[in-house]
């Protein structure tokens, strides 16, 4: 059991919208992602998804509104709710979600990263 330094982990990659796994607890992955610009509209039919902003600002768009997150803020998107993350500038995000959560749910796009392609760092 060693502490995980988030700043050090974020320094290990540059790609946007490509989560990296940093831990596992009770069937959940803790992932880090750098994001910028728009992500694809998608939903997760069977899993909730938690977004925690470490640095920057993240907007989670919903069909009926949006939530703006600043550093130290989080939101849990309930299963089955369609959403689209958006970051006007580079933003660092921690995701907490079940291990089987598909990156873009049932939606396939150029931004989709297969579960098998999400790497531990």
Q: Which domains does the chain have, with CATH numbers?
A: 6-101 (2.60.120.10)
Reported as a pLDDT band with limits 50, 70 and 90, residue 19 is: very high
- Model pLDDT, residue 112: 59
pTM above 0.75, yes or no: yes
What average pLDDT does the segment 84-99 reach? 95
Phi-psi group of 80: left, alpha or beta (phi > 0 → left; psi -120 to 50 → alpha; rest → beta): left
- Model pLDDT, residue 114: 58
- Model pLDDT, residue 45: 92
* Burial status of residue 51 (CB atoms within 10 A of its CB: 0-12, 13-18, 19 or more): buried
């Amino acid at each position: 059991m060693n502490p995980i330094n988030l700043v050090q982990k974020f320094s290990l990659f540059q790609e946007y919208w490509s989560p990296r796994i940093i831990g596992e607890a009770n069937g959940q992955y803790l992932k880090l992602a750098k994001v910028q610009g728009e992500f694809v509209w998608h939903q997760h039919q069977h899993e909730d998804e938690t977004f925690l902003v470490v640095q920057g600002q993240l907007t989670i768009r919903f069909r009926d509104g949006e939530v703006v997150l600043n550093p130290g803020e989080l939101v849990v998107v309930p299963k089955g709710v369609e959403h689209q993350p958006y970051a006007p500038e580079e933003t660092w995000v921690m995701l907490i979600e079940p291990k089987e959560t598909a990156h873009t749910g049932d939606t396939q796009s150029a931004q989709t990263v297969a579960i098998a392609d999400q790497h531990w760092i």
